Amino acid sequence: MEQAAISIRQLEKTYQGGKRALDGVSFDVPRGQIFGLLGPNGAGKSTLINILAGLVNKTGGTASIWGFDIDEHPRNAKVSIGIVPQEILFDPFFTPAETLEIYAGLYGVPKAQRRTQELLRAVHLADKANAFARTLSGGMKRRLLVAKALVHTPPVLVLDEPTAGVDLELRQQLWAYVRELNRQGTTVVLTTHYLEEAQELCDRIAIINNGRLIANEPTAALLAKATEKVVEVTVDRDLAAPPEARCFEKVELKGPRTIVISYDKTRVHAGDVLTALADAGLSVVDVSTREADLEDVFLSLTRRG
Ligand SMILES: Nc1ncnc2c1ncn2[C@@H]1O[C@H](COP(=O)(O)OP(=O)(O)OP(=O)(O)O)[C@@H](O)[C@H]1O
């Protein structure tokens, strides 16, 4: 079997002071995929990424990157991964071009093999090549971080919340570039709070909650797990309280005449919901339903966790 891009087994991290941020997490990131690592705030995502980056020492378990164990072959593991951190940290007096040259130097990339201009073009910073980093906007700095993570052409690229605070257009440009890198063979791991993005981009998604892995599946299989469906109905008169029925999982009034009802689609049909409303003496004027999305699955899994 082909080795995984990243393989972690029983990974543990207890910070000084006793906080257990990772509690025996195991999973593989298959080569060639876009892999989403999701979880609520404080779940342990950054801790996991920082362990892979060599910035945080694990307190248990193993991790390997492109087949290299991070303890036994730290140098090979390090050159196999590029990490775009959550926080923006730059020397304000270097220009983007200098920043990339310096990092390429740190990774020992020979001058002839450096890709400074190509990377700057790819992240739409070619016209800022010689501007001081401190004069770049937040979005530009983020894109420079992506370029910086790629100076040594790593087979695995990890992006930790790369689009936080980045406007929609830049986000789309960034994702287009990430997709292109993936098409060219780079394995991508990303954490994001935008579930829609994860749903759209990722081949596979793992979810961690309270330091434990609670899901790890192809995106489509994870979405199929959503059993809750939502129907919104408008009725012909004002209501003081939402109607009740056994087939409703949840019901609330969104307006005096608008009711939002959740039901379990494995047990109940939309017709049952409408019949229940008729039985409550309500006449339905309008109705719409929506399919569950990753957010529904995420919420139901993390709530259960
Ligand atoms: N240096 C540290 N010392 C002590 N506790 C820490 C340290 N860094 C993180 N933690 C704690 O470990 C837990 C996991 O944090 P982590 O940053 O890994 O979560 P996260 O999933 O990345 O969250 P977010 O989405 O908010 O970035 C949190 O409870 C956090 O407070």
Say if residue 270 is in the same domain as residue 205.
no
> Whole-prediction pTM value?
0.82
CATH code at position 102: 3.40.50.300
CATH code, domain with 281: 3.30.70.1560
* pLDDT bucket at 26, cuts 50 / 70 / 90: very high
* pLDDT at residue 304, rounded to an integer: 66
CA of 216 to the centre of ligand 1 (A): 21
Mean pLDDT of all residues in the chain? Answer: 90
> Do residues 163 and 18 share a domain?
yes
Asked if the structure places residue 132 within a domain, the reply is yes
In tens, the pLDDT along 143-196 reads: 899 999 999 999 999 999 877 767 778 788 888 889 999 999 999 999 887 788
Name which residue sits closest to atom 24 of ligand 1, judged by CA: 41
Is 56 in the same domain as 120? yes
**292 vs 11: CA distance, rounded Å:** 32
Residues 265, 219 share a domain: no
Q: Based on the domain organization, do 133 and 247 belong to the same domain?
A: no
Same domain, 172 and 35: yes
Q: Is residue 1 part of a domain?
A: no
Q: Are residues 124 and 182 in the same domain?
A: yes
Q: For position 120, what pLDDT does the model report?
A: 95
**Residues with a CB atom less than 6 Å from ligand 1:** 15, 17, 19, 21, 39, 41-47
Stretch 119-123: mean pLDDT:
92
Domain match, 214 and 296 both: no
Which of residues 190, 223, 256 is at a domain's end?
A: 223
Range of the domain at 33: 6-223
In a domain, 298, yes or no: yes
Do 193 and 239 fall within a single domain?
A: no
Same domain, 34 and 105: yes
Average pLDDT for residues 260-285, to the nearest whole number? 91
- On whether the CB atoms of residues 107 and 152 are closer than 8 A, the answer is yes
Q: How confident is the model at residue 199 (pLDDT cuts 50, 70, 90)?
A: confident
Residues 67 and 30 in one domain: yes
DSSP code per residue over 53-120? TTSS--SEEEEEETTEETTTSHHHHHHTEEEE-SS----TTS-HHHHHHHHHHHTT--GGG--HHHHH
Sheet of 60-65: strand order equals 20-29, 6-14, 60-65, 68-69
In ligand 1, the atom with minimum distance to the C-alpha of 86 is: 27
Residue of the CA atom closest to atom 4 of ligand 1: 15
- Which of 12, 16, 19, when mutated, tests ligand 1's pocket best, judged by the most ligand atoms within 8 Å of its CB? 19
Question: From CA 60, how far away is CA 208, in angstroms rounded?
Answer: 17
User: pLDDT, tens digit, for every residue of 79-120?
Assistant: 999 999 887 777 778 899 999 999 999 999 999 999 999 999
ipTM score for this prediction: 0.96
Last residue of a domain, one of 186, 204, 223: 223
The pLDDT tens digits of the residues spanning 216-262 come to 999 988 888 777 788 999 999 999 999 999 999 889 999 999 999 98
The residue that leads in pLDDT, 199 or 69, is 69
Q: How many CB atoms lie within 10 A of CB 111?
A: 9
Q: How far apart are CA 116 and CA 129, in angstroms?
A: 9
Adjacency order of strands within the sheet including 250-255 = 250-255, 258-264, 228-235, 284-290
Helix axis angle for 168-183 and 138-149, nearest 10°, is 10
Query: Is the same domain home to 267 and 253?
Result: yes
Of 165, 198, 223, the one marking the end of a domain is: 223
Total domains present in the chain: 2
The β-bridge partners of 158 are 83, 189
Distance 210 CA to ligand 1 centre (A): 10
Asked whether residue 95 is assigned to any structural domain, the reply reads yes
